[in-house]
Structure 1
Amino acid sequence: MAAMTIVCAAMLALPGRTVTAAFTNDVLIFLDGAHRIASGQLPNRDFHTALGPLVFFIPAAGYLLTGNLGAAMPVGMAVLLLAVMPALIAILNSRLHPAIALALGGFLLLILAAPINLGSPVSLLSFAMFYNRIGWVALSLLLVMYLRPRERGVTGEVADAMAAALLLLLQFYTKATYGLVSLGFILFMLTDARQRRWAAASLLLTLVAAALIEIGWGGTRQHVEDLMAAAQVSGGRDLASLVRSGLNNLADLAVFAIAAGVALWRTGSLRDLLFYGFCVTAGLLILNQNAHGWGIITLYSGTAVATELLVRLQAGRDRGAAAGRPSLADGLPLLLAFLLLPPIVHHGAVLARHAVLAAADAGTSLGLPKLRDLRIPDPADSPDFMTRYHESIESGGKLLLSLSPTPERVVVLDFVNPFSAGLGLRPPAGDSSWLHWGRNIDANTHPAPDVMFADAKFVMIPKVGINSLPLQQLYGPFISRTFQLVQETDAWIVYEKRQPRETMR
């Protein structure tokens, strides 16, 4: 597992470039956040975001290690892989048969490492929504801890508590939804007398670590407020979307039902039934909050747990006696192998494709000096809108550089601001890292204009934007009163903040 982790990390980090064939606007959120942190800002304290601070500190780590924004995402994820490796090995090695551990571990590693949104084809490389992959992998590892360790000891319980606390913190500080589900699982584990000590210790360690993080960060209160605001905009999901999520994953649900059914038939455990129900329910609820349609990763860890339980049961019955007749349960490891093999091949191909394209410096850049190593492959194959969006970013960068002196504290009235990071400008404070209409902002829930633009010196309004039109309707009157028109092109309108006297008039 260590060798596999190191290979995956090297394939991400060594080329030193990011290749994105989809959701460029989403990737720019993380690079803008890395630039903000490098400029001295902190998430939620200096800019609004409903995403956890680690979503920005992970690419910031890659940026600080390399000095290259184009390498920030792959290097940051490589660092994360190495950081998670001890917990992954400790959990799988103590609870699973080696073959099952290697299969499930390889699957989870590739989910975490492969730069693609779950369910997307191999061609759509992107680090977009990478926090969902982190959440799924951390939650799935925690679910494996439902199994009692093969060997018990104080050292093992300490390792379990530290691993569980690490995974809880990783989820809470990337996307809180996963953390809340995992917290529910740990509380469930408190009902197991044989595993109660490590579960309780993990909660204590998590609380202590969160208190120490708050001392250094100080953004928890504002983060909760940003989360609540985003929940008011997009928190609701109807029954139809839940059914649709289930239908999109019907094959995986069927295989999981077979594995869980066979295991329950042999164990007859009510506790196991509750665990399998948790895997399905929690997985569906999380998926229903995400932007991808496939990938209830909890089903895979649940199937691995069912397989391990039957392997242990069979080993106990066969110990000291001749092997009996083959049973239905004997086929469960093969069923698990067939369940894991397709996504392993898929995500392995994604990781290899990214490594090859990044090493070859394939594709074109956005045309911003600091984002030279953010590459877009085959721009001719991109949708017309995204092609025009990419071109508008390049023209907007040239427009800003043509102004004298070069502007700073620029707010872009669209999904994301590509210019602070792409041009190395001083970022504004008090604005939002991303503005996704209907997702974290709408006409009823949004940052107040006098807060949003308090530190802004310039405002850029795109004519080819992701959601600039509703944002103009929302903030346009305030901008007209507080800013003056500087320049207008076919793609952009640039405003500069008025002097106090002009604003009063």
Structure 2
Amino acid sequence: MLQDLYTIARARRSHLNFYMFDSIIENAASILLLTGLGALVLLLQGQKRSARVLAVGGAAACACGFLMILGNFEPGGFPLAVFIAILVASAVTVRLAYSDRSADALRAIVVLLASVYIFSFIGVQAFTLPWGAGVKLLSARFFDRMDAPALRNFVPIDDEQFYTNFVNDGIALLRKHVVPGETVMSLDFSNPFSFGLGLKPAEGGTTVLAYETTFDDWHRQSPERLFGSADLVMVPQPWHFSDGTLTFSIPRLYGPYLESHFSLIGQSEHWRLYRRLPQNRPLLHG
């Protein structure tokens, strides 16, 4: 596992478009301002240690929020903002009855700003909960579902409906050729087929394939480890990969191994299906 994490860390490229970077700076600046004002209130009350702890904690939380954005591809907002706002509001109001009253005006401003963060978050969540429930209800009635019992409740909507058709096309192709006991892998972003059809997972493989995120030309799994013990390999047709970063990288890096160890046995609109050649059974198989 550590080797896999090391490979991903070396292969990953962080792409921040202007909107994301602008959003990050805007949110981080306002959070740091709130934290700084809170620390100033504590300094005016003579609580130097508490002010230092609050300032360091706010900066650390901002750094963690930034890393969370990079990990989740979050297009807007700022993780942990509400946590920081609650932390600041609590720090400046604790033992209020026994504190120095000289910072009352600044304290009120800090609490007001923190309240904006807190109650806006609550308001957004209160709105999105029924909206999400409505979307789920509508998706169950008006959008196509995946043709596999285990995936029935996963319903992409609107522009993402292409993925339902994409997976269903692969499921139909696989059902025509799979033999009981065979394992399957996918050279796409993910492999919905093993779980979707209740097939035993192949040894080896990977959870996700995304060029310059989980692998690149210099840091990647060997073909032997990636294909593992898979008997069947599902490969999207050219220009049909669900992740555009794979269109050229997968054929270039893993195409030669695929063609020399597997034979093409079927095709559909979106997929090609390969079966491992008998003479190329891996040692780890079984």
1:440 to 201, 211, 214: 214
Give the equivalent residue in structure 1 for 2:205.
431
Distance 1:405 1:302, change over 3 A: closer
Tell me by how many angstroms 1:270 deviates: 3.2
Asked if 2 retains the 8 angstrom alpha-carbon contact of 1:410 and 1:457, the reply is yes
Deviations 1:309-338 (A, max 9, x none): 2212422138xxxx8995321343332221
1:335 pairs with 2:113: yes
Give the equivalent residue in structure 1 for 2:94.
312
Amino acid at match of 1:415: F
Higher RCO (Cα < 8 Å, 6 or more apart)? 1
1:484 pairs with 2:263: yes
The CA distance in 2 between the partners of 1:293 and 1:501, in whole Å, is 45
Tell me by how many angstroms 1:246 deviates: 3.4
1:400 pairs with 2:182: no
The CA distance in 2 between the partners of 1:356 and 1:456, in whole Å, is 40
Distance 1:354 1:314, change over 3 A: same
The CA distance in 2 between the partners of 1:479 and 1:325, in whole Å, is 70
Written as runs of structure 1 = structure 2, the 5 A alignment for 1:119-138 is: none
1:390 to 164, 169, 184: 164
The CA distance in 2 between the partners of 1:501 and 1:430, in whole Å, is 15
Q: Normalising by structure 1, what TM-score? A: 0.48
1:292 pairs with 2:74: yes
Deviations 1:354-378 (A, max 9, x none): 334445634331233321122233x
1:495 to 274, 282, 285: 274
Tell me by how many angstroms 1:254 deviates: 4.2
2:190 to 413, 416, 428: 416
Distance 1:270 1:242, change over 3 A: farther
Amino acid at match of 2:262: F
The CA distance in 1 between the partners of 2:32 and 2:56, in whole Å, is 16
Distance 1:370 1:273, change over 3 A: closer
Distance 1:399 1:346, change over 3 A: same
The CA distance in 1 between the partners of 2:32 and 2:273, in whole Å, is 52
Tell me by how many angstroms 1:399 deviates: 1.0
Deviations 1:277-311 (A, max 9, x none): 32333433443444114343334323322222221
Asked if 2 retains the 8 angstrom alpha-carbon contact of 1:458 and 1:494, the reply is yes
Written as runs of structure 1 = structure 2, the 5 A alignment for 1:159-170 is: none
Deviations 1:390-424 (A, max 9, x none): 31211111111122636731111110011111111
Give the equivalent residue in structure 1 for 2:155.
375
Asked if 1 retains the 8 angstrom alpha-carbon contact of 2:236 and 2:272, the reply is yes
The CA distance in 1 between the partners of 2:92 and 2:137, in whole Å, is 45
Give the equivalent residue in structure 2 for 1:355.
133
Q: Secondary structure at the match of 1:297?
A: coil
Give the equivalent residue in structure 1 for 2:10.
232
Written as runs of structure 1 = structure 2, the 5 A alignment for 1:61-76 is: none
Asked if 1 retains the 8 angstrom alpha-carbon contact of 2:235 and 2:273, the reply is yes
Q: Secondary structure at the match of 2:118?
A: helix
Tell me by how many angstroms 1:471 deviates: 1.1
Question: Between Structure 1 and Structure 2, how many residues are aligned?
Answer: 270
Tell me by how many angstroms 1:454 deviates: 2.7
Distance 1:502 1:272, change over 3 A: closer
Q: Secondary structure at the match of 2:185?
A: strand
Asked if 1 retains the 8 angstrom alpha-carbon contact of 2:35 and 2:55, the reply is no
Distance 1:496 1:257, change over 3 A: same
Distance 1:348 1:364, change over 3 A: farther
Instruction: Give unpaired runs (5+ residues) of structure 1.
Output: 1-222
Give the equivalent residue in structure 2 for 1:205.
none
Task: Kindly name which structure, 1 or 2, has the bigger radius of gyration based on alpha carbons.
Answer: 2
The CA distance in 1 between the partners of 2:39 and 2:102, in whole Å, is 22
**How many percent of aligned residue pairs carry the same amino acid?**
22
Distance 1:491 1:288, change over 3 A: closer
Q: Secondary structure at the match of 2:99?
A: helix
Q: Secondary structure at the match of 1:437?
A: coil
Distance 1:234 1:493, change over 3 A: same
Q: Secondary structure at the match of 2:56?
A: helix
Distance 1:364 1:387, change over 3 A: closer
Distance 1:310 1:237, change over 3 A: same
Amino acid at match of 1:484: S
1:364 pairs with 2:138: no
Distance 1:243 1:418, change over 3 A: closer
Deviations 1:2-48 (A, max 9, x none): xxxxxxxxxxxxxxxxxxxxxxxxxxxxxxxxxxxxxxxxxxxxxxx
The CA distance in 1 between the partners of 2:124 and 2:171, in whole Å, is 37
The CA distance in 1 between the partners of 2:261 and 2:3, in whole Å, is 27
Written as runs of structure 1 = structure 2, the 5 A alignment for 1:56-205 is: none
Asked if 2 retains the 8 angstrom alpha-carbon contact of 1:242 and 1:284, the reply is no
The CA distance in 1 between the partners of 2:112 and 2:280, in whole Å, is 76
Q: Normalising by structure 2, what TM-score? A: 0.80
Instruction: Give unpaired runs (5+ residues) of structure 2.
Output: none
